[in-house]
Amino acid sequence: MKEEILFQPLKDLIDGLSEKRFSSVELTQTCIDRTQACEPKIKAFLSFDREKTLAEARASDERRSKGQTLSELDGIPIGLKDIFSEKGQPLTCASRMLEHYVSPYDATVVSRLKASGMVCWGRLNMDEFAMGSTSENSAFHVTCNPWDVTRIPGGSSSGSAAAVAAGEVPLALGTDTGGSIRQPAALCGVVGIKPTYGRVSRYGIVAFASSLDQAGVFTRTVSGAAQILQILCGPDLKDATSARRPVPDFCAEMQKNVGRRWKLGVPEEYFREGLDSEVKQSIEAAIDFYKRQGYLIQPIQLQTLEYGIPAYYVIASAEASSNLARYDGIRYTYRSPSAKTVEEVFARSRSERLGPEVKRRILLGLYVLSSGKYDSYFYDKAQKVRRLIYDDFQKAFQSVDAIVTPTSPTVATKIGEKSTPLSVYLSDIYTVSVSLAGLPALSIPCGFTASKLPIGLQLIGKPFEESTILSIAEAFESQHDYWQQKPPL
Ligand code: GLN
């Protein structure tokens, strides 16, 4: 079977299986072969289990032969960021702290994938505990960008974006706390969507910052993203923050919206200094495309943009310091062999196994939460700023249907190029405010630089209006062929 199929829209895979042009085992084996061929260069995976995966594919083929398929996605392979619990499989979060941990149960999203018959292929690399934007914080290895292997793939869902871009797997799950789906999607030239906070259950996903974490998906095309979201979204009693609201039929909504002329807001603050000129040109060309289609383009203001990064790093680090307290050397896998007292178990296990960025966030988080600092300077202030950011978006959404911005201020930089934590934090400028406001947002490929590096366009929607941004994204995708381009591997 030709690996070309792995670069096709999800619909072609579904049709191929249902018309019996190929089996799930053949499709899955194609992923495995492609992965083996690409991995020496890309290093998107942390681990994989061929036998388990092929057994799932065989089970799917058996269901199909008996006319008992669980859904139209039955038999389609999907990769998982190494942050999702999949029963019996390793889960490291790219940390030495969880090096030998095996999940005792399935995350809700994984149960949902399995209930629709999907085949889980591999555990994908990431920045340790999802803290980072480059994959350089993985405790195991750096993932390379398929478009230029000397460059970063973005992060923290680095392996998910790179694996889909390289055709190692047609789809992958990721998580986005401050941009970790959208930014790597942009840098690797694939579609990445983060739904509204609360749309997708967080149960069984390792927590980084619980008020921000949200799972989502990487795909080649927008309609594929809508189909997977349909499975992932919906209330879950095991997650108290999961939204108790019905999920619309995303594909049907998109169908209804074809030809609709939306009102798009363009925030001028997102086009100022720091934005790479080739990225800017490409985003402006996309906006121009929408204008020619008859969309109403309206300049708007989002003056809180510059407060996004400081507020995000205070809030996310505060929550992380609390969430990561559970890695104490008592539970989970690692305990320092040299520790003699209980204090030493805590201190040494954590010191020996957590990476420098994770330690930095824990220290920052504990500091901003400490008495005297909490209310007068940091955490309390950051929460107030968060509210202002939310209000800023709310105001903008009174006059527009969606907001269009660059996803990342630059294209993929060289591995090792960004040498200070601050320079990495600043690359999250266009994504973190959206997370603080809990809004749905996606990134789609909208062009390439002269040196053939992908550029991503971010579309931000009103709460729970994923269908709107999916529809607007598809209108662009249907008239451009960026998604069809393949990296030079
Ligand atoms: N880059 C951001 C950070 O390091 C976002 C990470 C994420 O969304 N998980 O926190």
Token pair for residue 58? 């065989």
- Which residue's alpha carbon is at the smallest distance from atom 5 of ligand 1? 178
State if residue 79 touches ligand 1 by the CB under 6 angstroms criterion. Answer: no
Tell me the CA distances in angstroms from 307 to 89, 253, 317, 388, 429, one per residue in order: 40, 35, 16, 10, 9
**Interatomic CA distance for residues 353 and 374, integer angstroms:** 28
Q: Which residues pair with 403 in a beta bridge?
A: 265, 460
For residue 132, give the ligand 1 atom closest to its CA.
4
Q: Which residues pair with 456 in a beta bridge?
A: 445
Check if 180 is active-site: yes
| Ligand 1: centre distance to CA 398 (Å) | 29
State if residue 427 touches ligand 1 by the CB under 6 angstroms criterion. Answer: no
State the Cα angle at 92 between 85 and 329, rounded to 5°.
105
**Neighbour count for residue 409 (Cβ, 10 Å):** 18
The total number of residues written for the chain in this structure: 489
Pocket probe mutation, ligand 1, options 93, 134, 428, max atoms within 8 Å of Cβ: 428
- The conformational region for residue 93 under phi > 0 = left, psi -120 to 50 = alpha, else beta, is left
**Interatomic CA distance for residues 77 and 169, integer angstroms:** 7
State if residue 184 touches ligand 1 by the CB under 6 angstroms criterion. Answer: no
For residue 316, give the ligand 1 atom closest to its CA.
10
State if residue 177 touches ligand 1 by the CB under 6 angstroms criterion. Answer: yes
Query: Pick the catalytic residue: 24, 60, 133, 156?
Result: 156
Check if 156 is active-site: yes
State if residue 128 touches ligand 1 by the CB under 6 angstroms criterion. Answer: no
Strands of the sheet containing 402-406, edge to edge, are 45-47, 119-124, 77-81, 172-176, 214-219, 191-194, 441-448, 454-461, 402-406, 263-267, 296-300
Nearest to 93 by CA among 49, 130, 133, 120: 130
State if residue 134 touches ligand 1 by the CB under 6 angstroms criterion. Answer: no
Query: Pick the catalytic residue: 111, 180, 223, 467?
Result: 180
State if residue 213 touches ligand 1 by the CB under 6 angstroms criterion. Answer: no
Handedness of CA 55, 57, 62, 67 (dihedral sign): positive
**Interatomic CA distance for residues 192 and 160, integer angstroms:** 10
> What is the pLDDT, as a whole number, of residue 371?
82
State if residue 319 touches ligand 1 by the CB under 6 angstroms criterion. Answer: no
pLDDT digit string (tens) for 336-375?
999 999 999 999 999 999 999 999 999 999 999 998 887 7
3-260+440-484 classified as CATH 3.90.1300.10: yes
**Helices of type H across 84-138:** 108-115
> What is the pLDDT, as a whole number, of residue 333?
80
| Ligand 1: centre distance to CA 249 (Å) | 30
Burial category of 92 from C-beta neighbours within 10 Å (exposed 0-12, middle 13-18, buried 19 and up): buried
State the Cα angle at 71 between 69 and 76, rounded to 5°.
90
| Residues of the chain scoring pLDDT < 70 | none
Check if 81 is active-site: yes
